[in-house]
Copies of this chain bind each other. A is one copy, B any other.
Amino acid sequence: MNKPTVHDIAREAGVSLATVDRVLNARPGVREETIARVQAVVDRIGYVRDTFAANLARQRLYRFAFVLPEGPGQFVGTLAEALAEAHASHVVDRVALRVVHVPTQDPEAVVRVLAELGEAGMDGVALMTPETPQVRDAVARLKADGLAVVAIASDLPSSMRDYFIGINNLAAGRTAGLLMGRFLRDAGEVLVVTNSMRSRDSLERRLGFDAVMAAEFPEHRILPSVESFDDPGRMAAIVREVMARRPAIRGVYSMGTGNTALLGALRASARPGDLVVVGHELTPTTRAALRSGEMSAVIAQNVGHLVRSALRIMRALCDQRPIFEAQEQIRIDLILRENIL
Contact = CB atoms under 8 A, between A and B. Distances in A.
Interface of A: 48, 50-53, 55-56, 85-86, 89-91, 93, 171-172, 174-175, 177-179, 182-183, 185, 208, 212, 296, 302, 304, 308, 324, 326-327, 329, 331-339, 341
B339 A332 contact: yes
A85 B172 CA distance: 27
Nearest to A182: B183
A341 B333 contact: no
Contacts of A171: 338-339
Contacts of A324: 89, 91
Given A331-B339, A333-B333, 10 more contacts: A50-B56, A52-B53, A52-B93, A53-B56, A86-B327, A89-B324, A182-B182, A208-B338, A332-B338, A333-B334
A51 B171 CA distance: 40
Given A52-B56, A52-B93, A333 B336 contact: no
B332 A212 contact: no
Contact of A90 (B48, B334, B337): B48
A319 to B, nearest CB: 12
15 contacts: A48-B90, A50-B56, A50-B93, A52-B52, A52-B93, A53-B56, A89-B324, A171-B338, A171-B339, A178-B336, A185-B185, A304-B326, A332-B339, A333-B334, A334-B339
Counting every copy of the chain, the complex holds 2
Nearest to A185: B185
Contacts of A51: 93
Nearest to A304: B326
A339 to B, nearest CB: 4
Contact of A327 (B179, B304, B341): B304
A182 B296 CA distance: 10
Contacts of A178: 336-338
Given A52-B93, A183-B182, A336 B334 contact: yes
Nearest to A54: B52
Interface centre among A177, A179, A183, A338 (most CB of B within 10 A): A338
Contacts of A172: 339
Contact of A331 (B86, B90, B302): B302
